[in-house]
Amino acid sequence: DAGVTQSPTHLIKTRGQQVTLRCSPKSGHDTVSWYQQALGQGPQFIFQYYEEEERQRGNFPDRFSGHQFPNYSSELNVNALLLGDSALYLCASSALAGGPAEQYFGPGTRLTVT
């Protein structure tokens, strides 16, 4: 079992550009959540996808969007990048099973915006 995988590992972008991050969930999981973690802070919830739809969203602007594919993998897109978007982006997968379940995290994508 490969666990949760994310790509790329690191990314450097310029202000105003757009970025796409990718996540493959753990085998048997149907739900993907995305989190942003700034240096020295706990992760902040961006959104969660289930059955190819955004199920819940945190306090992030519309510049942050996502998608879930039929194979349960997911993408996080960020438009019009700002310096403040520099962070570790974490993907977590879970088996929804009707309620909050244990979440398994990938290694993250380190995004640097210059």
User: Residues 40, 62, 71, 84: which binds another protein (CB under 8 A)?
Assistant: 40
DSSP percent split of the chain into helix, strand, coil, nearest 5: 5, 50, 45
**Could you tell me the smallest distance in angstroms from the CB atom of residue 16 to another protein?**
26
Q: Does the protein bind another protein through residue 58 (CB under 8 A)?
A: yes
Stretch that binds another protein, among 17-25, 54-62, 71-79 (CB under 8 A): 54-62
User: Residues 13, 22, 67, 110: which binds another protein (CB under 8 A)?
Assistant: 110
Output the six-digit token pair for 15. Answer: 């202000």
Q: Does the protein bind another protein through residue 60 (CB under 8 A)?
A: no
- Classify strands 87-94 and 104-105 as parallel, antiparallel or unpaired: antiparallel
The SS3 call for residue 83 is: helix
